[in-house]
Amino acid sequence: MKSSELKIEGMSCSHCVMAVKKGLAAIASLTVKDVQIGKAHVQYDETKVSQEKLAAAIDEAGYKLVSVE
């Protein structure tokens, strides 16, 4: 399992945090550790979860994935 911090653009309130948390939680093989305005800490299986899948979930929630660290 890999732990990463996702930098997310466009978040400004608690509603944004909940939308991102819900979008990420829908990804199988991923555990959401924490979501704050502008970032999320997640743990996932790299063989099953790609950066493209992370970006798509965040995009679907209405925000933009800037980087994965």
CATH number of the domain that 44 lies in? 3.30.70.100
| Residue 3 DSSP SS3 | strand
Q: Please give the pLDDT value at position 24.
A: 98
Query: Which residue segment(s) compose the domain that 24 sits in?
Result: 2-68
How many structural domains is the chain composed of?
A: 1
Q: Please give the pLDDT value at position 4.
A: 97
pLDDT tens column, 1-54? 899 999 999 999 999 999 999 999 999 999 999 999 999 999 999 999 999 999
**CA distance to 12, 23, 31, 58, 67, per residue, from 27 (Å):** 23, 7, 8, 11, 18
Q: Please give the pLDDT value at position 50.
A: 95
CA separation for the pair 45, 36 (Å, rounded): 22
Rounded to 5 degrees, what angle do the CA atoms 61, 67, 69 make?
A: 120
